[in-house]
């Protein structure tokens, strides 16, 4: 997929403005947002399809009150057919770092 950096990722809620770095693709690395079975930009544009490969519970190291969270491994097929892999904390986040899959 062609390199890009999402621009102008701001929302205003109750008078406060929030900014995100947005989705990007750069060489063999990408950051996308997972929404169900879709990979999206921060603004919600569809850029790929998600397949969950596996998920597991993980505990933070050396935490005083360890609260488990779910890590999810995904395989994303972008709209141009390129395949990417990555993982993310599916309990608390939609942001997922990806790497281009080996051929």
Mind listing the pLDDT tens digit for each residue in 10-50? 878 899 988 777 889 999 999 999 999 999 998 889 999 99
Distance (Å, rounded) from C-alpha 103 to C-alpha 87? 19
pTM: predicted TM-score of the whole model, two decimal places: 0.82
**3-class secondary-structure state, position 92:** coil
CB 83 within 8 A of CB 101: yes
Burial degree of 14 (CB within 10 A; 0-12, 13-18, 19+): exposed
CB 75 within 8 A of CB 101: yes
The tokens for 1 are: 């997929």
Residue 61 confidence (pLDDT) above 90:
no
């Amino acid at each position: 997929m062609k390199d890009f950096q999402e621009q102008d990722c701001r929302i205003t809620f109750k008078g406060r403005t929030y900014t995100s770095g947005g989705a990007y693709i750069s060489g063999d690395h990408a950051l996308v947002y997972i929404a169900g079975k879709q990979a999206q930009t921060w603004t919600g544009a569809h850029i790929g399809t998600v397949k969950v490969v596996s998920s597991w519970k993980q505990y933070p190291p050396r935490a005083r009150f360890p609260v488990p969270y779910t890590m999810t491994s995904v395989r994303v097929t972008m709209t141009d057919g390129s395949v990417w892999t990555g993982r993310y904390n599916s309990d608390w986040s939609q942001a997922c770092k990806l790497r281009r899959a080996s051929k």
